[in-house]
Amino acid sequence: MATLLSLLDALDDRPQARDLRERTYEGLGDVVVDVGCGSGRAVGELAARGARAIGVDADPAMVQLAAGRWPAGEFRVADATALPLDDGSVTGYRADKVLHALPDPEHAVAEARRVLAPAGRAVLVGQDWDTFVIDSGDPARTRALVHARADGMPHPRIARRYRNLLLDTGFTDVTVEVHTLVWTDPSVLPVLVNLGGEGAWLEEQKARAREDRLFVAVPMFLAAGTRPG
């Protein structure tokens, strides 16, 4: 968990990531569920804005950690496809970097519609795991590493389907945006270690970091829709 938290914190602390989170909060209303809440940062930030913010995660240890970090929020252990919420009980639903890890993302989006009140807003955000952009002297190895990481996930390309998932579930006013996160500094090295492990490829990236020649870009897809009244 410590490695996962360090990766999440490294991403979440970047100004571009903060700006993207702010964008996802727009229009969520005063009762919001954050599904796959992880370390709870979004829940804490939403609560600080005056919302009743409910974080849900399937990992009990993560929920315990989030509750300690962000005491103003509410945190519950539950599956994304069986939320502990009544029908129509929330005005906003947010799922950030989570649908790719679920065995049944379609069911999760259907659950979003169930818990949302009429005119409630659902926001899905995450990366397409095939579209990591990394400058490297060995592009074939880089492509192989990116694809190998993607192929180890249940739904690595689900982000490109966000719009259709919302439409298929009956959401209206569906919109899609792309926000690209860019790194040119050594703060991205833990991500590259996680991607490529030790070896010549990583050593090249470390050398680039020392020489101020790093370039990593990750497009983040944000789709939103409204539950019909």
Q: What is the pLDDT of residue 221?
A: 98
Can you count the helices (H) and strands (E) in the chain?
A: 9, 8
Q: What is the pLDDT of residue 88?
A: 98
Q: Which domain holds residue 23?
A: 2-129+155-182+217-226
Mean pLDDT confidence for 67-74: 96
Q: Other CB atoms closer than 10 Å to residue 203's CB: what's the count?
A: 11
Q: How far is CA 102 from CA 154, 185, 202, 204, 224, in A?
A: 6, 31, 29, 33, 19
Q: For residue 148, is it within any domain?
A: no
> Contact 101/153 with Cβ under 8 angstroms?
yes
Q: For residue 198, is it within any domain?
A: no
| Total domains present in the chain | 1
Give the whole-number percent of the chain exceeding pLDDT 90. Answer: 88
Q: For residue 40, is it within any domain?
A: yes
Q: For residue 13, is it within any domain?
A: yes
**Segment 217-228, tens digit of pLDDT:** 999 999 999 999
Between helix 139-151 and helix 200-210 the angle, nearest 10°, is 110
Query: Is the pLDDT reported for residue 11 higher than 80?
Result: no
**Segment 80-101, tens digit of pLDDT:** 999 999 999 999 999 999 999 9
Q: For residue 138, is it within any domain?
A: no
Q: For residue 142, is it within any domain?
A: no
CATH, residue 11: 3.40.50.150
- How far is residue 43's CA from residue 214's CA, in Å, rounded to a whole number? 32
Q: For residue 144, is it within any domain?
A: no
**Segment 117-146, tens digit of pLDDT:** 999 999 999 999 999 999 999 999 999 999
Mean pLDDT confidence for 67-83: 97
β-strand 74-77 against 172-183: which pairing, if any?
unpaired
Give the whole-number percent of the chain exceeding pLDDT 70. Answer: 96
35 phi/psi in degrees, rounded to 5: -95, 135
Q: For residue 35, is it within any domain?
A: yes
